[in-house]
Structure 1
Amino acid sequence: MSQVPSAPVPVPPSLRPVLARWGGPGADVPALPAVWVNALGGTTFALRGPAGAVFCKWAPAGVALDLPAEARRSRWAAAWLPVPRVLAGGADEHGSWLVSRALPGRSAVDPRWRARPQVAVPALGRALRRWHEALPVRECPFDWSVPYRLARAVGDTARLRTPPPVDRLVVCHGDACSPNTLLGADGSAVGWVDLGALGVGDRWADLAVATTSLDWNYGPGWQPVFLDAYGIGEDRERSAYYRALWDVGP
């Protein structure tokens, strides 16, 4: 699973000049504190330099993290919702990077919110509903449909060839796990991050992953609270299908 590292993380040599530019003097060092280490191998560094507070994502070559795709999706979604503003990006033979301006708020899995799931969980349900209502399906150039995802799957998809009927097409976040919603001091959503898979699909593609993530981050028993805040009842068939599809994805 992705996590906050407990010690400074080695900085790839090709990333050091990028960090020095955006983090100012002192950022060009062999290791820095990182705010997040992705299960796929990516790392996110937090910096404060001439441009203010920024985040720099790093994806080593060969891992299933497409930072240019995330940059395109972030730029598109920014017209409707608070998402990271892309400042710079690049790549070399060792990997790719993406620099974006920091958003206000804290991740919904910050210790403050993990200790208050009675506030965080309904906020997450309302936040996902807001996301689905705000982004226009007809204007979205990105796909996250079942055929699109099956074509890119890396696991066994034999039992996933016949999906349930679409409940409602929305612009899915694509990784609606709890950490990717930022909450303000009052517990309301103030931003969304990690948009690399954003695209049009059934809303249950997001709902299935979002509800599973609650168990990982807050413990069992919170899924009904989330769904009630979103404004929908449980759908076991669609949840099971999209969780299985998530498990075989890249």
Structure 2
Amino acid sequence: MSAPMLASVPTEPVTVPEAVLALAGGEAVTPVWRNGLGGLTFRLADGRYAKWSPPGVGLRAEAERLAWAGRWARVPRVLEIGADAEGEWLVTAPIPGRSAVDPRWLAEPATAVVAIGRGLRLFHDALPVAECPFDWSVERRLAQADERIARGSGPAEWFAEHRHLDPEQARARIGEPPPIDRLVVCHGDACAPNTLVADDGGFAAHVDLGSLGIADRWADLAVAAWSTEWNHGPGYADLVYESYGVVPDRERIAYYRLLWDLS
């Protein structure tokens, strides 16, 4: 097994799925993102985005979450969803802004990181927990962790700070979560690439809501700040917390980062 695969812009030629070619109608197709599950996102000539994934990834679940969250938050509007034997696709309308890991914002990391923190606070404040039908609780994620461990997942798939643990040690450490600080509707994958930043450096929108659900806000915060280390370099994590408006809670940060690796 290899180290965790970080999502990134494809740097090698990409085979465009037939479904995406059909959506493009003979016009240009530009691959813009590859995730760690084999999924690809393409920009079509008319500005639409087509997200494609192998069968079973669950793009329909993401479409449902986007439609729900779009009532209160800035997220892409779903235009079409479909599937065939090769995979699934989700087409969304363009939304202004560039990913926080676009070269523009990699060159201005502090601006991007502030937008990540402020955008996450807006997201958590806007979405109503009482009306949310989706769950991202520790209990649900621990069940996923147990399934992964049973399939042989282990330290080689985790980030460096957890690789000294074996699966049994990690599972024992993750067994009892800290008390909930504030229950919110979490993004579920609040890593830096999933925040869009406006041209003026402000927060623009969120994308990739396939895991959205109710959880402690630290489930998002811990990973959002962690991801700035992977994407923007060391020294920016605390700026996420500051921009969000919270004091770092080291116990909850450690817990939810380990849960991220396991689940």
Q: Which runs of 5+ in 2 are unaligned?
A: 1-5, 150-166
Do residues 75 (structure 1) and 70 (structure 2) align? no
Question: 3-state DSSP class of the match of 1:26?
Answer: coil
The size of the alignment, in residue pairs, is 236
User: Displacement, 1:183?
Assistant: 0.7
- Partner AA of 2:50 in structure 1: C
Does the CA contact (< 8 Å) of 2:27 and 2:45 recur in 1? Answer: no
Report the equivalent of 1:221: 235
RMSD of the alignment, in Å? 1.4
Report the equivalent of 2:122: 130
User: Displacement, 1:15?
Assistant: 4.0
Report the equivalent of 2:55: 61
Provide the rounded CA distance (Å) in 1 between the counterparts of 2:119 and 2:20: 34
Provide the rounded CA distance (Å) in 2 between the counterparts of 1:94 and 1:11: 11
- One of 92, 100, 108 as aligned partner of 2:84: 92
- Partner AA of 2:16 in structure 1: V
User: Displacement, 1:7?
Assistant: 3.5
Report the equivalent of 1:205: 219
Does the CA contact (< 8 Å) of 2:119 and 2:205 recur in 1? Answer: no
Once the two structures are overlaid, the 10-residue window that deviates more, 2-11 or 66-75, is 2-11
Question: 3-state DSSP class of the match of 2:115?
Answer: helix
User: Displacement, 1:39?
Assistant: 1.2
Q: Which runs of 4+ in 1 moved over 2 A?
A: 12-17, 23-27, 155-159
Report the equivalent of 1:163: 177
User: Displacement, 1:8?
Assistant: 3.4
User: Displacement, 1:234?
Assistant: 1.1
Provide the rounded CA distance (Å) in 1 between the counterparts of 2:208 and 2:84: 21
- One of 45, 50, 60 as aligned partner of 1:48: 45
CA deviations on 1:147-173 (whole Å, 9 max, x unpaired) are: 111122223434322111101000000
- Partner AA of 1:204 in structure 2: W
Provide the rounded CA distance (Å) in 2 between the counterparts of 1:181 and 1:139: 24
User: Displacement, 1:14?
Assistant: 4.4
User: Displacement, 1:13?
Assistant: 3.1
Give aligned-pair identity as a percent: 57
CA deviations on 1:199-250 (whole Å, 9 max, x unpaired) are: 000000001100100101111111122111111111111111101111012x
Per the normalisation by structure 1, the TM-score is: 0.90
Provide the rounded CA distance (Å) in 2 between the counterparts of 1:183 and 1:8: 27
- Partner AA of 1:61 in structure 2: P
Provide the rounded CA distance (Å) in 1 between the counterparts of 2:172 and 2:78: 38
User: Displacement, 1:48?
Assistant: 2.3
- Partner AA of 2:132 in structure 1: C
Gap change, CA 1:25 and 1:94, over 3 Å in 2: closer
Provide the rounded CA distance (Å) in 2 between the counterparts of 1:223 and 1:14: 39
Provide the rounded CA distance (Å) in 2 between the counterparts of 1:75 and 1:68: 11
Report the equivalent of 1:24: 25
Provide the rounded CA distance (Å) in 1 between the counterparts of 2:102 and 2:108: 10
Provide the rounded CA distance (Å) in 2 between the counterparts of 1:191 and 1:123: 10
Provide the rounded CA distance (Å) in 1 between the counterparts of 2:50 and 2:13: 15
Per the normalisation by structure 2, the TM-score is: 0.86
Gap change, CA 1:94 and 1:158, over 3 Å in 2: farther
Does the CA contact (< 8 Å) of 2:20 and 2:50 recur in 1? Answer: no
Report the equivalent of 1:117: 109
Question: 3-state DSSP class of the match of 2:196?
Answer: strand
- One of 171, 191, 197 as aligned partner of 1:177: 191
- One of 139, 150, 157 as aligned partner of 1:147: 139
Report the equivalent of 1:107: 99
Q: Which runs of 5+ in 1 are unaligned?
A: none
Bigger relative contact order, structure 1 or 2, given CA contacts below 8 A and separation 6+? 2
Does the CA contact (< 8 Å) of 2:97 and 2:204 recur in 1? Answer: yes
Do residues 196 (structure 1) and 193 (structure 2) align? no
Gap change, CA 1:225 and 1:26, over 3 Å in 2: closer
User: Displacement, 1:137?
Assistant: 0.5
Question: 3-state DSSP class of the match of 1:7?
Answer: coil
Question: 3-state DSSP class of the match of 1:36?
Answer: strand
Q: If each structure's strand is expressed as a fraction of its own residues, which one has the higher value?
A: 1
